[in-house]
């Protein structure tokens, strides 16, 4: 988070408009700014948390401040309507709206407004230098203040009055020296309030209640001016034209019309500016909320290129490779299209922001109905183009989600096919090794049997003797003559007979175990295939049952649904009392316990119908 140092320069910042001792808050588009109870910000109220909300400047689709509330805050719009932003929600503060950090007894406190400029210009806001906001229409109802009285027109002050003021100043000094400076600051602030030079300096609602008076006619104003002149002459001040300067801060108060007149003016202004910023879907709220999705962070990288084909691939693996290649091509094309639409959306948002900020100014005389209507039309056209681009972007993003799912599924299918291929290769290699081992053992058995049956090995040809020696594991590298081969085989027969018997018995046991394992593995594979077939059939049956129940339950209540299921329903009532008999008949027919011996499709349909009927029965009165 960025620091809340008010001396940091920023193009936009939150300027305090209601609250004592508040300081401006700089804003940034790249980082969020935490606003809450802080000595640096001048907020010392314990009712405001240290992390009240997080502010972030945004330009899409128009200039606004994104508010992420940690606790509830309040926003007053241009028409004076106060709205609450709940905790853990996101809102937007548009230009001309006021942000309040806290509200006590329906009175908002600690107000800020979005302002453009350098934050150090407003960084000297003191403890008593703050303003209140009024509506634009109330500027015309301000009573013009007269200039301060000169020394020539000021009434004479008696020595007794001078002595009283001296005693008051001395008493203020004995009280600690705080009252006199406070009064001086208050007097200076009263001199600034409600003047014609600075119409934005209004009454504060923190130290004194806002004085609202009825707008008088010209005759009443003149009479009030004469009375106030006489009254201020007694207090040592003078008024001119019904509005002057007074040490009590009452004569220079800013007069406002009654609440009913203000409401009428607001309604007139709302009718005059109807459609500004929000007409026909051109409001910044929708654009701002949807614009937060159009960021580069949400764009996922392109998937890697699929691996090439292999000569040893089976037809199944080749088919899955082709499917993956097609899914990858479609996904890459969709992502390229998404990037193009993202650029288009950004340009439309910038154009919408530019058109929205070109508001006809009443200071330039461009507030007639035709200029406002043309501006609203331009705003609506820009908003329509922006929303059209957003819709296309959202459509392509949805298509990307579907294509990415297809690509992922094709990749998983290829991985599964490769695993099956590798498993088959390993199984074939193991089978070959087992067969080779079995054939070698069988040859050894036959060799031992031949040697045991033949007492004189010299009668056997040399080639056959070599085969017998190899099968029995006799080393014949030093045997040259036939006699040497016969002697070596005879020696092995006499010395290794007991070891051969043990080996033969062990091998027979291993072979028996291997046969049982192969038989068990074949049964397991058969059961697995049957289970997969049953699961596939159950899934298909469930899908058909869901579609059937959805057809029966379309625009239907429990009574109509039971009739569509073939259950007779008596009477015309639609409550539990009138449908109890039909409900029982439906449970007798479709309950899963009643359909255990039925087919798989009937069981799936019974389960879905029972689920639908039970849900509607529980919600029935």
Distance CA 352, CA 250 (A): 47
- Which helix (H) or strand (E) segment holds residue 83: the answer is strand 82-85
Do 285 and 419 reside in the same domain of the chain?
Answer: yes
Q: Could you give the percent of the chain with pLDDT greater than 90?
A: 22
Q: In DSSP terms, which residues pair with 69 in a beta bridge?
A: 53
Residue % of the chain over a pLDDT of 70: 68
54: helix, coil or strand?
strand
User: What pLDDT is attached to residue 344?
Assistant: 92
pLDDT tens sequence across 328-347: 999 999 999 999 999 999 99
- pLDDT tops 70 at residue 263: no
Contact predicate 29/323, CB 8 Å: no
In the listed set 83, 111, 130, which residue is the last one of a domain according to the structure?
A: 130
Partners of residue 564 on adjacent β-strands:
none
Interval 187-212 mean pLDDT: 39
Residue 452 in any domain: the answer is: yes
Listed in sequence order, the residues at least 6 apart from 477 whose beta carbon sits closer than 8 Å to its beta carbon are: none
In a domain, residue 143? The reply is no
Please give the pLDDT value at position 323.
93
Same domain, 495 and 388: no
pLDDT of 131 above 70? no
Q: 542 and 514, same structural domain? A: no
Q: Decide which of 239, 267, 295 is a domain's last residue.
A: 267
Determine the structural domain holding residue 522 and report its residue range. 434-527
Give the model's pLDDT for residue 322: 93
Is 144 contained in some domain? no
Q: What is the mean pLDDT of the chain?
A: 74
- Residue 607 · residue 545 · CB < 8 Å: yes
pLDDT of residue 125: 41
pLDDT tens, residue by residue, 587-621: 999 998 888 888 999 999 999 999 999 998 988 86
pLDDT at residue 224, rounded to an integer: 52
Could you tell me the CA-to-CA distances from 484 to 189, 194, 470 in Å, in that order? 130, 132, 14
**Does one domain contain both 474 and 511?**
yes
Same domain for 442 and 568, yes or no, is no
In a domain, 2, yes or no: no
Q: Which of 233-247, 358-372, 381-395, 527-541 has the lowest mean pLDDT?
A: 233-247
The verdict on residue 200 lying in a domain is: yes
pLDDT at 351: 92
Residues 292 and 401 grouped into a single domain: yes
Q: How far apart are CA 52 and CA 67, in angstroms?
A: 10
Cα–chain-centroid distance for residue 503? 71
Low-confidence winner among 183-197, 256-270, 361-375, 546-560 (lowest mean pLDDT): 183-197
Q: Are residues 296 and 409 in the same domain?
A: yes
Computed on alpha carbons and rounded to an integer, the radius of gyration of the chain in Å comes to 47
Structurally, how many domains does the chain consist of? 5
Instruction: Look at residue 5 and tell me if it is in a domain.
Output: no
Please name which of 29, 167, 45, 165 lies closest in space to residue 100, comparing C-alpha atoms.
Answer: 45
Q: What is the pLDDT of residues 5-63, one digit of tens each?
A: 444 444 788 999 887 788 899 888 778 889 988 888 888 888 888 888 999 888 877 88
Question: Are residues 419 and 452 both part of a single domain?
Answer: no
pLDDT tens per residue, range 47-75: 888 888 999 888 877 888 989 998 999 99
Residue 338 CA neighbour count, 13 Å, CB half:
23
* Residues in contact with 9: Cβ distance below 8 Å, sequence separation at least 6, in sequence order: 26, 118, 119, 120
Q: Yes or no: say if 342 and 299 are a contact pair by the CB < 8 Å rule.
A: yes
Is 490 a residue whose pLDDT tops 50?
yes
CA distance from start to end of the chain: 54
pLDDT of residue 364: 55
Does residue 99 register a pLDDT over 90? yes
Compute how many other C-beta atoms are within 10 angstroms of the C-beta atom of residue 193: 18
Which whole-number Å values give the CA distances from 259 to 135, 217, 263, 274, 610, in the listed order? 12, 17, 6, 22, 62
Counting Cβ atoms within 10 Å, is residue 60 exposed (0-12), middle (13-18) or buried (19+)?
Answer: buried
| Pair (540, 511) in one structural domain | no
pLDDT at position 345, please? 93
Same domain, 421 and 287: yes
Phi/psi at 274 (5° precision): -65, 135
Query: 267, 298, 321: which is the final residue of a domain?
Result: 267
**Is residue 272 a part of any domain in this protein?**
no
Name the more confident of 149 and 516.
Answer: 516
Do 523 and 538 belong together in one domain?
A: no
Domain for residue 590, yes or no? Answer: yes
Residues 296 and 416 in one domain: yes
- The residues, any chain, with a CB within 8 Å of residue 41's CB and separated by 6 or more, are 4, 6, 22, 23, 25, 35
Q: Is the pLDDT of residue 426 over 70?
A: yes
Instruction: Calculate mean pLDDT across residues 306-317.
Output: 88
Exposed/middle/buried for 148, CB within 10 Å: 0-12, 13-18, 19+?
Answer: middle
């Amino acid at each position: 988070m960025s620091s809340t140092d008010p001396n940091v320069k920023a193009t936009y910042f939150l300027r305090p408009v209601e609250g004592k001792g508040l300081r401006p808050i700089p804003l940034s588009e790249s980082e969020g700014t935490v606003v809450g109870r802080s000595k640096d910000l001048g907020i010392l109220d314990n009712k405001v948390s240290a992390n009240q909300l997080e502010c972030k400047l945004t330009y899409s689709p128009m200039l606004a401040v994104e508010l992420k509330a940690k606790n509830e805050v309040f926003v007053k719009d241009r028409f004076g309507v106060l709205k609450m932003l709940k905790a853990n929600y996101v809102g937007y503060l548009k230009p001309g709206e006021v942000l309040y950090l806290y509200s006590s007894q329906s009175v908002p406190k600690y107000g800020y407004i979005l302002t453009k400029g350098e934050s150090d210009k407003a960084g000297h806001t003191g403890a008593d230098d703050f303003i209140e906001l009024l509506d634009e229409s109330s500027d015309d109802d301000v009573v013009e203040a007269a200039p301060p009285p000169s020394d020539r027109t000021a009434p004479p002050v008696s020595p007794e009055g001078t002595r009283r003021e001296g005693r008051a100043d001395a008493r203020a000094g004995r009280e600690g020296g705080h009252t006199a400076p406070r009064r001086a600051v208050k007097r200076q602030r009263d001199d600034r309030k409600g003047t014609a030079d600075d119409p934005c300096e209004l009454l504060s609602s923190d130290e004194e209640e806002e004085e609202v008076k009825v707008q008088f006619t010209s005759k009443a104003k003149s009479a009030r001016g004469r009375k106030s002149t006489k009254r201020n002459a007694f207090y040592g001040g003078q008024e001119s034209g019904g509005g002057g300067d007074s040490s009590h801060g009452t004569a220079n108060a800013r007069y406002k019309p009654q609440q009913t007149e203000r409401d009428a003016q607001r309604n007139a202004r709302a009718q005059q500016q109807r459609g500004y910023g929000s007409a026909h879907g051109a409001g910044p709220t929708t654009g701002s909320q949807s614009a937060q999705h159009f960021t580069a962070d949400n764009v996922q990288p392109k998937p890697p290129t699929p691996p090439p084909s292999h000569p040893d691939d089976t037809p199944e693996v080749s088919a899955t490779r082709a499917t993956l290649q097609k899914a990858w091509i479609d996904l890459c094309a969709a992502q390229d299209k998404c990037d193009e639409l993202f650029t288009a959306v950004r340009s439309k948002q910038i154009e919408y922001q530019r058109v929205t900020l070109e508001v006809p100014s009443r200071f330039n005389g461009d507030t007639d109905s035709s200029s406002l209507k043309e501006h609203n039309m331009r705003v609506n056209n820009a908003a329509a183009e922006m929303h059209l681009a957003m819709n296309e972007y959202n459509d392509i993003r949805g298509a990307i989600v579907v294509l990415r799912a297809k690509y992922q599924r094709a990749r998983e299918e290829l991985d599964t096919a490769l695993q099956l291929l590798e498993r088959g290769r390993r199984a074939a290699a193991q089978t070959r090794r087992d067969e080779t081992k079995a054939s070698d053992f069988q040859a050894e058995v036959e060799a031992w049997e031949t040697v045991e049956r033949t007492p004189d090995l010299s009668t056997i040809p040399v080639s056959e003797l070599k085969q017998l020696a190899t099968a029995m594991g006799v080393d014949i590298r030093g045997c040259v003559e036939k006699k040497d081969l016969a002697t070596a085989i005879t020696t092995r027969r006499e010395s290794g007979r007991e070891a051969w018997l043990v080996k033969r018995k062990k091998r027979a046991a291993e072979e028996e175990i291997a046969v049982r394992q192969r038989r068990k593995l074949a049964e397991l594979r058969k059961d697995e295939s049957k289970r997969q077939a049953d699961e596939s059939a159950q899934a298909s049956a469930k899908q058909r049952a869901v579609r059937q129940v959805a057809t029966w339950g379309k625009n239907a209540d429990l009574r109509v649904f039971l009739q569509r299921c073939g259950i007779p329903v008596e009477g015309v009532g639609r409550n539990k009392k009138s449908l109890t008999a039909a409900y029982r008949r439906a449970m007798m027919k479709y309950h899963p316990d009643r359909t255990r011996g039925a087919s798989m499709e009937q069981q799936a349909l019974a389960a879905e119908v029972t689920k639908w009927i039970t849900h509607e029965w529980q919600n029935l009165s």
